[in-house]
Structure 1
Amino acid sequence: MNSMPEWTDLRYFLELARAGTLSGASRRLAVEHTTVARRIDRLETQLGSTLFDRSREGYELTEMGHALLPHAEAMESAALTATDQLGAASVSAHGVVRLGVPEMLGTLVIAPLLVHLLKDHPDLSVDLLVQPRFANLATREADLGVMLDPPNTGRYVFTRLVTFRLNLYASPDYLARHPPIRTEADLANHEFVDYVQDRLASSELNFLDKLGFTPKRRLCCTGMMAQCEAAAAGMGLIMAPPYAIPASGSLVPVLQDSFFTERSYWLAAPSDLYRLQRVRVVWNLLREYAEQHPSLFMHTEKQ
């Protein structure tokens, strides 16, 4: 080693390792991609080692890059903790938190909830990643995330956020135009709106496996928001949680007391980021809200 590398160069190394491309790292660092390339070249010169294999597809860590990665992550963790402890007031979180959430939950439940949180913490900002897949915490795409599958490798803190029930729903118009549904056997004569089966973000999204027969899928979407819109327009039956159902009555329950399935959302964060005050503020908000509003997730009233 010719000299001690600067921490800022190691930050560039971490972001390039996570993003895999200069453009991706530059967006995360808010700099030009040429700056990222220059910093990486300097770091490799200082260490006397090649850290990345370059190709048209992007940047991949070499053996030496993989060896450096945990040390750079440890330095990042120490820097984040120090910055948070020294810069934060004891009563207010500050900084940016990136929260990855499923699109329907994020849009209808979490986004309005964050508005109130940010009013109470004027120095806090949130990047809400609302998408039909789950945030990749391993690449630090998000600081914490809501997901159907908890992490099974790596250093994470995670907890079961809430268990939710999925019931069958359909529009009144669809039900009026099709044969009545009195038992589960009647479902074989009906059309369904579902997820695109070869694009599932998790095996936990196989809601319709519970049916016991192959449903007639007329329209499949990668996200539940599009599914709900299609079902409300009369396309077919859909399985959805209570928080996804509009109060307008455009979707009504079908076989609510006899046909349903349950899943759990998990809340997870890398262990080093969980120690940060700003991350814990968002973490605690989500847990408390889920506990205080069970009807959003487990609607069991007879209708």
Structure 2
Amino acid sequence: MNSLPEWTDLRFFLELARAGTLSGASRRLDVEHTTVARRIDRLEKELGTTLFDRSREGYELTEMGLALLPHAEAMEGAALAAAEQLGGAEVAAHGVVRLGVPEVFGVKVVAPLLVGLLDANPELTIDLLALPSFANLANREADLGVMLDPPTTGRYMVTRLASFRFYLYASPDYLARHPPIRHQSDLSQHYFVDYVQDRLASRELSYLDELGFTPRRRLCCSGMTAQIEAAALGMGLMMAPPYAVPDDGKLVPVLPGFFAERSFWLAAPTDLYRLRRVKVVWNLLRDYADSQPSLFV
């Protein structure tokens, strides 16, 4: 290697590693895909090694590329921290934070919380990714995320945000038209609204398995918002956490003693966690979850 690689070349390396394609990296960097290819070729020439295996499907890191990745991420984190400190972020958070959250949790719980945070930090901007899946932190789809499956490899800050429970709900109309439910065994006679089973964002969402029998799924949806609407229209029983159920009487509890318990985890790449703007969002979620246990159980 004749010289040290430029940081800008390493930015191109990081975005291509995360996106997996030239077109994806070019969109992230707001440049032409030919520019990405040229900068990667230059970086490989400077380092004297191949960083990516090229194929029709895209770009995949080689062993040397994988070895470079954590060093490039560390440089990225240092650059972000330096820019934040020089911008006076030690006093007030500023910049953009991309927060990935489950769809209903994001709409019902997180979005209202952000009003006060943004009022207190006028230079802060939040990109709220309220998704039916979970944000991919490995490719930096989000700066931090709430999820059911915490990262087990890589450099992340991870904390248990809250334990929460899925309870059974149904519309009064559905209950009036179907056999009474007095015991868990009675549930086998009923229809259910659930997730599409081969499109589960996490195996933790297969909570109907805890019923003890194979449920009669009448309608399956990719997200909980659609499930709530379907159950409110009388299409079957559903399971949901209390915060997800509207307080309008369209859904009522069924067998309150039966529930499935899960945990939300909060995670962020270690280098991003150090940033003031990420830390204030992290602390907001932690403090709120700690102060509102009845929201989840």
TM-score, with length taken from structure 2: 0.95
Residue in 2 aligned with 1:88?
Answer: 88
Identify the residue that residue 207 of structure 1 maps to in structure 2. Answer: 207
Look up the SS of the partner of 2:152 in the other structure.
Answer: coil
Structure 1 position 273 matched with structure 2 position 272: yes
**Alignment correspondent of 2:108:** 108
For the pair 1:161 / 2:161, whether they are aligned, the reply is: yes
Counterpart residue type for residue 283 of structure 1 = W
Distance in 2, Cα, partners of 1:90 & 1:60: 38
The 5 A counterparts of 1:191-202 are 191-202=191-202
| Distance in structure 1 (CA, Å) of the matches to 2:184 and 2:102 | 29
Instruction: Tell me the C-alpha RMSD between the 2 structures.
Output: 1.5
Q: Following TM superposition, by how much is the alpha carbon of 1:4 offset from its aligned partner in structure 2, in angstroms?
A: 2.4
Provide the rounded CA distance (Å) in 1 between the counterparts of 2:209 and 2:66: 41
The number of aligned residues is: 297
Shift in Å at residue 44 of structure 1? 2.2
Aligned-partner SS, 1:220: strand
Tell me the equivalent position of 1:244. Answer: 244
Structure 2 counterpart of 1:261, which letter?
Answer: A
Instruction: State the Cα deviation string for residues 27-58 of structure 1 (Å, max 9, x = none).
Output: 22233323222222222232233222222211
| Structure 1, gaps ≥5 residues long | 299-303
Q: Is the 8 A contact 2:98 2:129 kept in 1?
A: yes
Displacement of 1:241 in angstroms is 0.3
The CA distance in 2 between the partners of 1:151 and 1:45, in whole Å, is 33
2:53 paired residue number: 53
Q: Deviations over 1:124-144 (max 9, x none)?
A: 111222211111212222111
Q: Distance in 2 between matches of 1:130 and 1:46?
A: 41
- 2:40 is aligned to 40
Matches within 5 A, 1:118-137: 118-137=118-137
Q: Secondary structure at the match of 2:96?
A: strand
Mapped to 1, the partners of 2:260 and 2:65 lie a distance apart of 45
Report the Cα offset of residue 5 of structure 1: 1.7
1:31 maps to 31
Query: 2:89·2:276 contact (CA, 8 Å) conserved in 1?
Result: no
User: Cα offset for 1:223?
Assistant: 1.2
Q: 1:47 to 1:70 in 2, by over 3 A?
A: same
Alignment-derived partner of residue 66 in structure 1: 66
Rounded to whole Å, the distance in 2 between the matches of 1:66 and 1:214 is: 43
| Unpaired segments ≥5 residues, structure 2 | none
Stretch moving more, 168-177 or 29-38: 29-38
The whole-number CA distance in structure 1 between the counterparts of 2:100 and 2:89 is 26
Alignment partners' CA distance in 2, 1:101 and 1:227: 18
Alpha-carbon distance, 1:189 to partner: 0.7
Per the alignment, in what secondary structure is the counterpart of residue 255 of structure 1? Answer: strand
Match of 1:282, as an amino acid? V
Is it true that 1:295 corresponds to 2:294 in the alignment?
yes
Residues 90, 276 of structure 2: 8 Å contact kept: no
Alpha-carbon distance in structure 2 between the residues aligned to 1:233 and 1:89: 49
Counterpart of 2:273, as a letter, is: Y
Q: Is the 8 A contact 2:194 2:219 kept in 1?
A: yes
1:261 aligns with 2:260: yes
SS in 2 for 1:136: coil
State which drifts further: 4-13 or 66-75. 66-75
Rounded to whole Å, the distance in 1 between the matches of 2:64 and 2:261 is 45
1:301 corresponds in structure 2 to none
Aligned-pair distance for 1:180? 1.2
Shift of 1:70: 2.1
| Alignment-mate amino acid for residue 269 of structure 1 | A
Q: Give aligned-pair identity as a percent.
A: 77
Q: Which residue of 1 aligns with 2:143?
A: 143
Q: Structure 1 CA distance, aligned partners of 2:122 and 2:151?
A: 32
Residue 272 of structure 1 and its aligned partner are, at CA, apart by: 1.4
